[in-house]
Chains A and B, each alone.
Chain A
Amino acid sequence: MSKSSLDKPTRHAADHPQQLDTQPRHVQEDQASNKSILQALTSAALVLPGLLAAQAHAADASSGSVNFQYSRYQESKRDLYSVRSDLKPIMVDTLHGSGTFFLTDRMKLSFGYTQDTWSGATPLSSVPFASTAGNSAFTRVLPTGEVVSGASPLATGTVTLDRNLNPLRFDTAGKQLVDPRTVLVLSSASPETRSQGDFRLGYEWDEATLNLGGGLSVENDYESAYGNANGRFDFNQKQTSLKWGAGYTSSRTSAILDHDTLGYVTTLAYADQIKSRDNLRILQGDRRDWTSSLGLTQILSKNTLVDFNLGYTHSRGFMENPYKAVTVIFVDPQTVSPDPGDSIRGNLRAVLEQRPDVRNQLAIGGKLVQYINPLDAALHVAYKFSLDDWGVNSSTFESDWVQPLGNGWTITPRIRYYSQSSADFYHPYIVSDQAFTRIVVDEQGEPQVVTYDPKKLPKHITSDHRLAGYGALSGGVAVNKKLTSGIALEAGFEYYTRASALKLGGSGNSGFADFDYYVANAALRIDMDTINFSQRNPQPRSSKHQHHDHLDHGGGHHIPAGVMFGHMLDKPGDVMVGYRFMYSWQAGDMLHGARKASDIDIVNLACGDSQLCKFSPADMTMRMHMLDIMYAPTRWLNLMLMPQFMDMEMNLRELEGRPPPVPGDHEHKGVPHSTGGVGDTILMSLIKLIDLPGQRLHMGLGFSAPTGETDLKLRRMAKNEGGLFHFDMQLGSGTWDFLPNLTYAGTTHRWHWGAQLYGAKRMESKNESGYRLGDIFQASTWGGIHLTDWLSASVRGVYTHRGRIHGDFNTYNARVGPMDFPVNQGGQYWDIGFGLSAAVPTGKFAGNHFAFEWLQPIRDDVNGFQLERKGALSATWHYSF
């Protein structure tokens, strides 16, 4: 293993110039004095490819590395003038994980996974503020007695116009005033989750590289598959590099047209593309994008380099945003009075936006990187210009100052200015000289309703403010800390303000759409090459790992994947970084106790004494991603930090025999309910109690911090509150929880076995939403066999007792089914788990451990009425050093 690390060519370092100063691979410990010279020479010879590899491709951050990143995007509230919106602004939580592994000395494979969940209010259209459409303020009393006030979107209405078609407002004295203001019509959305997976295979020659990649992005209403190729040629003694790239993306929109707005939005132009399925109307469209890029990087001097890039994109197909409408003010010529002093009455209607089916975009950019010698800093200055055949021209100025501070710290302040011109077909709203509908008497003398002539409207039209003219100014800072062990931490913050008035060369006239946002991100990067190197000195790595695998860990790496807190690190200073994925699936029958429940029983019994159930869950899936960071300050104590990221999805079905819907009630059905975001964060300490050869007992004392939200709400439809999501769909417990556990593990050359007791005790009487989850007790025991020196299999029996929920929602929840009642929570569960675990003992991937376990339910005995469980998967990766 140490051999292969030594054999690894220095070329890899070039891929990651950040690491060059810590990667003098050919330097032996006793040559420490020569280290910096060798390092400088190695760096120098390799610099150019390294510089070029750092393209904005997060999955390829470095060689032999694993990265995790979390980011939060949060928008400000939109200005609706006199109306105060109670809708939460857009928020996006994003989790990203990626890994790069060298398959051979010249070939590397990268994987990336990104998941984001967004929710919040988005603009549907924009209307004259003086019209009766817009956002209507309301106050209403919920069934719980709570009073809510807010704004409800109104996409249709009427407006009075003057003879120049300016909207008119009447002041308190009844006098007509021109009111040129436009306002956004905001509608809310329930959370939605998108997942994206991608890969990249790269090959390096001495003076060229080639990368082939592809990926898939999936969300409820949009799927996108893509492939790309790019490469680089170095010449002129590697002072000059030519880069090229090409890509193809195929995307499909399948937008479920909103029940809530469907009645108010005219979809005439898309009649052929709208399909009906399960009472839903789905707008479908395909889109294809071809991209190409050409670039050049040139070393100008020992302190300066420049980079030029040219990008061209050709797009074809459905490029509309299916949730955006345009307000058309229909003025019926027959109602316009001949008196020029009279005002005109307009009928406001919303029609789905229409964009051209073809778009060609060209962008050209340049960047200068200048070393500032006295401060050891680097100044990055970039400019980009883009233009397209929709009329959107943009300019971007950007500047970063990268300032190393010593001790592995770097701080980077940055500033960016962006300006774009409006698309040719962007209008906040338009006026059409025809009636929306009129009555015509046909040849038989029958009156017929005739709708407007779409041909009289512009062929292409949008009110999406992203295609308006505006400017944006943003500034931020990034802080990096490189730890000596090959781990780097990164945190960043950026504040962005969009303002119509900031547009280059004058106002963009879209000030009503101005907003601000901030983005905060935190990342962890693990560079295995650096770790491998630092571990070769002072002691050979291989012996250390053997030690880990078989004795010190008490078979720790063979513990089934579903067991948490199951093994300990042994040497003071040891670090382990891991990732845990858990998936659980519920589907099938509804259970009452341990038996199948009939629909009629659910309707009558599962929703309390005073109410009948309408829906029951049809299936539910939960996915959890957990980062697992472990550190051993002493031989007997380990500290763990485990942040979690979750997403859930639940489909409902209507119960047979349910009470009929209340007229005017908007029920959330047909569309899956989904939530996602940051879950609770676990802080754990593990204490070694008994440590005999081949056997170990340790105790865990820890806490779960309530970082997951418990007040997620379904969107409001019309004026009907969606209310809080079901208990199981909230992201955390909402309380500080105590998590004690005790683990015994043993191993011989051939067998391994163990047992664990685990508990969760809620330490607060209720969370912010008024309830607390039941306590948990779990006992499990397992046995396994080492199939080879690197692979083992295990079988595990698990018993879980989970208490019912105490308290109840303290705010409105729709109470549509069993999942909304505290008595239908908790129970006793028996499972059997089948697991495989693999530890890479030698070679360049030594130190990596993978484990999988499928947990198959044997028996459920639930409190009240609950959906049957189908199984759960745990998969873990960890790397210790």
Chain B
Amino acid sequence: MKKCSSVFTSLFLLGVITILSGCSSVAPWERGVLAKPQMALDPHPLQSGVRMHNYGSREGGAGTNAEGGGGGCGCY
């Protein structure tokens, strides 16, 4: 487990560095498209809440959005 964690962390950082070095600069006035609602990271936050709750109570895998809490037992 520990070994796996460090491998993944390294991969993650590697990916990040690659992307950072590869991207060109986008000036603030060129970000009109990025501001469109369809470009939001989560365009449907309310619905996502429901979906994540269902997946969380029906699946065994972990999520990356680890800040949460709550959600109840899901003991069914």
Residues on A close to B: CB < 8 A? 17-21, 40-41, 43-48, 50-52, 54-58, 60-61, 67, 69, 71, 73, 90, 94, 96, 114, 116, 118, 120, 122, 189, 194, 196, 198, 214-217, 219, 221-222, 224, 226-230, 237-240, 245-249, 251, 253, 255, 289, 291-293, 295-303, 305-313, 321-323, 360-367, 369, 371, 376-378, 380, 384-390, 392-394, 396, 400, 402-404, 410, 412, 418, 420, 423, 466-467, 472, 478, 480, 490, 492, 494, 496, 498, 517, 519, 521, 523, 525
Contacts and interface: CB of A to CB of B under 8 A. Distances in A.
Listed from nearest, the 6 A-B pairs whose CB atoms lie closest are A226-B69, A394-B61, A245-B67, A58-B49, A361-B62, A43-B35
Given A226-B70, A247-B68, A423-B60, A57 B39 contact: no
A308 B16 contact: yes
Report whether over half of chain A's contact residues are helix, strand or loop; otherwise say mixed. Answer: strand
B62 A388 contact: yes
A50 B37 CA distance: 10
Contacts of A412: 43-44
Contact of B73 (A219, A390, A410): A219
Interface in B24-76: 24-55, 58-73, 75-76
Given A43-B35, A313-B66, A519-B50, 20 more contacts: A40-B29, A55-B41, A56-B49, A57-B45, A61-B46, A69-B50, A224-B70, A224-B71, A228-B67, A245-B65, A299-B26, A302-B34, A303-B33, A362-B5, A362-B8, A366-B15, A412-B43, A412-B44, A496-B58, A525-B46
A68 to B, nearest CB: 9
Contact of A44 (B5, B29, B76): B29
A467 B23 CA distance: 41
B62 to A, nearest CB: 4
A683 B76 CA distance: 35
Given A69-B46, A308-B12, A378-B38, A44 B66 contact: no
Interface residues of B, number: 63
Given A54-B42, A363-B62, A523 B67 contact: no
25 contacts: A20-B35, A21-B36, A44-B35, A50-B35, A51-B41, A54-B42, A55-B67, A57-B49, A69-B47, A96-B49, A215-B69, A245-B65, A248-B69, A291-B66, A299-B31, A301-B23, A306-B19, A311-B64, A312-B5, A321-B75, A388-B1, A404-B36, A466-B60, A519-B50, A525-B46
B32 to A, nearest CB: 5
Contact of B42 (A55, A248, A298): A55
A61 B59 contact: no
A302 B26 contact: yes
A534 B48 CA distance: 29
Contact of B65 (A298, A309, A402): A309
Contacts of B19: 298, 300, 306
B34 to A, nearest CB: 5
A478 B47 contact: yes
Contacts of B32: 40, 43-44, 302
Given A43-B31, A371-B33, A418-B59, A196 B42 contact: no
A57 B34 CA distance: 21
Contact of A249 (B38, B49, B55, B69): B69
A108 B31 CA distance: 26
Nearest to B4: A387
A297 B43 CA distance: 15
Nearest to B67: A245
Contacts of A403: 38
Contacts of B15: 308, 366
A219 B31 CA distance: 46
A56 B68 CA distance: 9
A492 B47 contact: yes
A293 B64 contact: yes
A313 B5 CA distance: 12
B42 to A, nearest CB: 4
Contacts of A71: 50
Given A69-B50, A215-B70, A362-B5, A51 B39 contact: yes
Q: Which of B1, B37, B66 has the most CB of A within 10 A?
A: B66
Contact of A519 (B9, B54, B60, B68): B54
B1 to A, nearest CB: 4
A198 B44 CA distance: 20
A418 B38 contact: no
A480 B36 CA distance: 14
Contact of A240 (B20, B44, B46, B64): B20
Nearest to B62: A361
Given A51-B41, A94-B50, A467 B64 contact: no
